Structure formats: C-alpha cells, structure tokens
Amino acid sequence: MTATPSAPDTAGPLLSTLEAPAALRELSERQLTGLADEIRAFLIEKVTAVGGHLGPNLGMVELTLALHRVFTSPHDTLLFDIGHQAYVHKLLTGRAAGFTTLRQAGGLSGYPSREESPHDVIENSHASTALSYADGLAKARQLHGEQDRAVVAVIGDGALSGGMAWEALNNLGGAPDRPVIVVLNDNERSYAPTIGALADHLHQQRAQSDDSIDWLVRQAPAARFGGCDAEADGPLPLARSLFELLGFAYIGPVDGHRLRPVEEALSLARELGRPVVVHTVTSKGKGYRPAEDEPQDRMHTCGVIDPHTAEPLKQSSTPSWTSVFSDQLCSLGQRHENVVALTAAMPGPTGLARFAERFPQRCFDVGIAEQHAVTSAAGLATGGLHPVVAVYATFLGRAFDQVLMDVALHRLPVTFVLDRAGATGPDGPSHHGMWDLALLGAVPGLHVAAPRDATRLRELLDAAVRYEDAPTALRFPKGGVGEDIPALERIGPVDVLHRSGISDVLLVAAGPMAAPAREAALRLEGQGIGVTVADPRWVLPVSTELVQLASRHRLVVTVEDNIRTAGLGTALARALDDDGCGTPLRALGLPGRFLPHASREDLLRRAGLDAKGISQAVLRARAHKPHQQPDPHTPAEVS
C-alpha cells in the first residue's frame, strides 16, 4: 500500500516549470516518475483545501502523461468522457495556478471547459457521451481529409455501462477505415463498483492476463490482425474480447500506472490506423491511502478535508436533504413490502445505500443507464411493485422519453426522487438541476412535489408511494435541510405559511424557496405591504385551491429554483388564465441559460431569489416599473 504523501506548499520543480504538454516529450523516464509523484502531491494539497474530485484524478496520472506524450493536443483531439477525471489534463495544459480557486465562483471549472483552454474540446459532463462525439468528429476529419489528426476518447468502465456508449461502439467498430482510439480506463468503479455483464467480461479479461509474458508482445498480433488468424499467429493467450467481436482491435489489459507500457500501447494503437480499444487497468485514488482504502468511495469527491487524515474540516450541524430521504425510504420499505428502489450507479450519492443494506433484494443498481432504469421501473410497477427511482435532477433529462411514454402513458405508479434540483453549486452548468420542472410539466398525469423542509419531505414521500395509478416525483436541492417551517393552515394541498392582516400580494414559493419568501414578506410588511406566503407542496399540476387563493389577491409572485420560463410560474399563469382570473402574475426563477459554477447561495442571490431580491421584485411589479436589462454575465432575476 502506498503511503500517504505529505502536502507540499507549492508545485514541485518539474510541475512548476511545465508550460505546455509538448515539454513532456523531453523528460526522461526518471523525471516522469518524479513528475507523477509531484502531480499526486499537488492534487492532494489543492483538492483537499477547496473540495473536488480527488480519487478519480489520482488514478489518472500516468495515463494522462502517456496520452500527452503520444498525442499532440490540441492538434490531436483528446476527449474525456469522465470529465471529473481531467484534473491531470488541466495541470499538463498550463492551469496549475487555477487550482486555488477550483470549482469556486470565477475560478477553475471542475470539468473540462472550452473557455479555459483549446485543449478542452467538450465540457458536457454527463457520462457515456464521448464515444459519440468521437464518432462524429472522426467523420468530420475524414470528410475534411485531415488524416493526421488522431481522435482519442477516454472512457471509464463505469461510463461504458451506459447505453449511449454502446450505440457509439456499434458505429465506431463498423467503420474500419475511420480510426478512433478508445482508451478504456478500467478501475472497476463509477461512483460505486461497476456492475453487470460488461463488468464480468472485463474482470475475465484482467484475470486471463499473464504477467510473465510481456503484454505488448502477446497482444500485438491480435491487435494488428483483429485476433482472428490463429493459424498465422498461433493460439492467442487470451480469449477474444467483446470489442474484437464488434470490429475493434484490442490492446491490453495494460497496467495504467506503468508509463512505458501505456505509451507503447497508445503508440501501437495510433499505428494501426483503425478503430482500437486500449484497455488500461487503474486504481481509483492511487497513491493516497484514504482514497485507496475508503470502501464507500467517500473520496470520489470530497469537501474541505485534512490532507493527512482525510477528516472534514467543516462539519455540518444539520442533516442533508439526501440523508432525510434515505431514512424515510428505509422506514417506508419496512412498512410497505411493495416498495423497491433503483439507482443509476449512484447508491451512495442518491441516498439508496442504506436501503440497499436493509433490503438487498429490493434495490437495483443498473449502472450509468438512466433510460434503462426508468423503463425497468415501469416493468417493476407493471409487476405490482412501487419503484422509487433516485436520480440527480440533471440526469433525469436523459430519460425523458421513458418517463413520458413508458411510465406516464401507462399511468404506472413510479416515484422519481430528484436530488440536486435547482442550482447545485460548484459542479457547474452540466450539473445544475434547473430544467426538471420544465420537462416534467409536459408529462400528463405526473404529480410533482417540492418539500420545503424535512417534515414535508417525509410527508410527501409517504404520499407519493401510496399513488396506485399515476407517477409522482419529488425534487429537493443539494445541501443541508433548514429548520422546519410550520403552516398556519392547510387549504387542500396548499400550506399557508404567512399572512398579513390585509394581504394584496401572494407569494407562491416552491419547496426550499419558502424560507426566503417568508423573509421577504416580513421586509414588505415593514413597508406597509400585506403579503400572503403559500407553499403548494405539490407544485404540478396546479391545484384548484391555489388558483382560488391567487384570485383573492391583487398580485401573484411565484418563486422557484427552476428556469422561470417553464415551471411553476408558467403553469400557474396558465391556470389563472383558464379560470378567467385577471390577477397579474410575475414569475421569479433561474434565467434560461447555462449558469456557471458557484455556491448555490451565490447563484440564488444573483438570480434575485434571496429575500432581498424577492422583495425588490414585488416592489417593481407593484409599481409597474419595467425591469432593467441585467448584466449579461450575471444570472439576474428576470420578471
């Protein structure tokens, strides 16, 4: 086991002088070994200080060095499907200084970013997509006659469990005249251990490898001739891989932490001039004992921690939304034997790990395959069970067709629990869960709840799993749950949280927006404006009771951490119009554009979704003042 490196104060002598990846080709093998150590020490120091994806990047050091020594980026294109494993790539392309502001507002992105560097080509950090990018890019290069520009896609074995990756492999392997190099970074994990038949196949490939025979000598004939001419080349020491059957040359398995063999494998792959899979085997968290030893993959991503002990330096005094959901689902599982759960390779982050421990036969990890997860849930519901699909809000969009046609069309009782809804913070534009209400609002018969606190989460989840003839969804944000906000009264499904003596403004707050809305009401009262604050609890479809409550006020203002152009606000506006209610409505929400990485609190404030912004929006609406044009670089509230 590798000892935990100490955390240095600055980058080492080699890393600090590295200005471009071309300089790597001038280094000796001994220097490269030293550079790898420097990179790991640098990552441990910097990532533990600000938080980020530590374990995945520690496993990518030698592989990334080899990629940049064999290929000339950006002339050759390096595509990182697993974007959170691109920290080493960032270091080697001149961005070491930015790691002090990693994932902070205005700082270095935690994923590839085209704004940061010409070496970053794609920045969508949803898994299983890079192979399709590679397929299209290779076709473009072929049409332009750019035969000297390699296309290399790095994909993890976890990401390879996604169906889209196999759609791409089907196309890539069927085009022998269009060379694309697929680098399979096999560490046997995504967030959790990789599961399924593919994981079994890769395990068999690793098990059949004979370390006493040099891998390159053993595999070169198979790679050059597709492994299909046994008489000419002699019997192959490995069974043919699945990739060979799909039309790829296959090189490996190769130890991804031995620089020379990895370079030789990549060089051979380039020489072959055909679709190739280079199978590298790496260890997540390599070189940092807490990351290597952690059984629950806690070091996949970390907050601010002590670099030596890996213990958090900032302890939260409140439970997280995810933990409250996790506890309640276990309670429901105990009471309802028909409740089952599904996750797309994220049992820990989505809160299903405890349910899986208590009810192992009733929890299903399907790999990074959201589409399959949803339709598999439809099958479970058809079989008389009530599935709970726990998924990040940003990833549900990948399975919209399945939600619409496979679940809702059949009126099946499936509950979707959408973690990280709204502005999520440091992971940036690909991970903000701000489009879910816009998508789900188009699904007939789907009921969407947004709990404002822990008590409402338990209450609404309990109600959701009791539905027998319609799908349901619950959405909640990342982070800690605040204090419970009691209701003054309940009108149908609607909770009234605040009421002035005479109210002329109705603030309708979706879920966690209740707290700033109630604070805004107090601010407005201080200026003589009467305000009612209502939490619809079930935000979609709009209830009759909410429409009736709105009709008794002079102005309605909705507040949601979803894009304002399609969510609660627009749905309530339509309902008021259908009812013939003339009460004007102003919808406050997130702007309909990709938001940068920053803290959730900062993003909400900049969007005018804090108490100050909400109260100012109400004052503008009452005064009928036109909204000023916002700074195009700031996600401001739009009325």
- 357 in active site: no
- Whether residue 159 is annotated as binding a ligand: the answer is yes
Residue 406 DSSP one-character state: I
Q: 41: which residues sit within 8 A by CB, 6+ positions away?
A: 5, 6, 7, 8, 12
Q: Annotated binding residue at 168?
A: no
Which of 398, 420, 452, 586 is catalytic? The answer is 398
As a dihedral over the C-alpha atoms of residue 353, residue 355, residue 361, residue 365, rounded to 10 degrees, the angle is: -40
Q: Is 515 annotated in some ligand binding site? A: no
284 included as an active-site residue: yes
Concatenate the DSSP letters of all residues of 156-175 into one string: ETTGGGSHHHHHHHHHHHT-
The rounded distance, in Å, linking the Cα atoms of 45 and 43 is 5
CA-closest candidate to residue 244, choices 259, 261, 230: 230
Beta bridge partners of 586: 557
- Burial of 98: CB neighbours in 10 Å, binned 0-12, 13-18, 19+: middle
Q: How far apart are CA 345 and CA 82, in angstroms?
A: 14
> In angstroms, rounded to a whole number, what is the distance separating the alpha carbons of residues 218 and 214?
6
The answer to the question of whether 123 is labelled as a binding residue is no
User: What is the H or E stretch that residue 538 is in?
Assistant: strand 538-540
Q: Which residue has the tokens 């004052």?
A: 619
Peptide bond before residue 253 is cis, with ω within 30 degrees of 0? yes
Judge whether 398 counts as a catalytic residue: yes
User: Is 623 labeled as ligand-binding?
Assistant: no
**125 in a known ligand binding site:** yes
Q: Which amino acid is at 401?
A: D
Q: Choose the catalytic residue: 40, 69, 284, 586.
A: 284
Catalytic residue among 38, 62, 370, 560: 370
**SS3 labels along 110-150:** CCCCCCCCCCCCCCCCCCCCHHHHHHHHHHHHHHHCCCCCC
Does residue 158 have a known ligand-binding role?
yes
Residue 343's φ and ψ, nearest 5 degrees, are: -140, 150
Q: 336: annotated binding-site residue?
A: no
Q: Which residue has the tokens 């959790």?
A: 192
624 is in an annotated binding site: no
Annotated binding-site residues read 84, 125-127, 157-159, 187, 288, 370
Pick out the residues of the known binding site for thiamine diphosphate: 84, 125-127, 158-159, 187, 288, 370
- Positions marked active-site: 284, 370, 398
Q: Which residues are annotated as a binding site for Mg(2+)?
A: 157, 187
